[in-house]
Structure 1
């Protein structure tokens, strides 16, 4: 799937030239993540320094669990 028209977002805390990721929410599509074909929407994450590189896809429940872990400090 061509992700060039996807609206990617970056954190407001991101600095120019920093190590950042970008996030986008797209309709569920087997072409993006065939193993998650039953999801209505997917959260995509990519490296902002490599916009043509791979994107990871998460279902809404996976994304919610990840965000909750970040807020709880599980990755510090």
Structure 2
């Protein structure tokens, strides 16, 4: 018989981030230094949905934005 606690039914970010956030801050993960020598790339993000209802269209849009940003960052551009 295992003495391990059962996994929570849902992800609880507050518990995880309380542990890791100081480490991330100390490592400088939230600080960026733009490099003016690199070709810039940016995406204009539309304002939030006023109805407060998210759809699969929102998920697809955000996923595509993430993919494009990661692709251009891998190409060496300033994203």
Q: Scaled by the length of structure 2, what TM-score is found?
A: 0.33
| Structure with greater helix share of residues | 2
TM-score under structure 1 length normalisation: 0.34
Q: Give the number of the structure with larger relative contact order, counting CA–CA contacts within 8 Å between residues 6 or more apart.
A: 2
For the pair shown, the structure with the greater C-alpha radius of gyration is 2
Larger fraction in strand: 1
